Structure 1
Amino acid sequence: DELVVTDTVPLQDAARACPRIRQLSVAEMLAETLRRIHMEESVSQMFVD
């Protein structure tokens, strides 16, 4: 088992050292969201299967 978190809030050293905590980057999704907003495209379409 593991706890998956995003990198939107920095992890403390103890959490970073824990092998059961996995941190995922949201940089690509955030960049795409900002691009879509700037281009006046749908953001909700990013979450449709």
Structure 2
Amino acid sequence: MSSAGGTSACNTATFFNRAGTYSRTFPLPVAFLGTTLGDNVGKVQVYRR
């Protein structure tokens, strides 16, 4: 996963790595998740902030 979109109902997401040892929260949409998460996303939590 390299990017993510959003909607007016869901505008924030927390991305977790596969091991569950690292997470980062972004406002949506996000164009680049960074090198740590790039191909290593195991879980995404989407919500409205």
TM-score relative to the length of structure 1: 0.23
- Structure holding more helix per residue: 1
More strand by share: 2
TM-score, length-normalised on structure 2?
0.23
Greater Rg, structure 1 or structure 2? 1
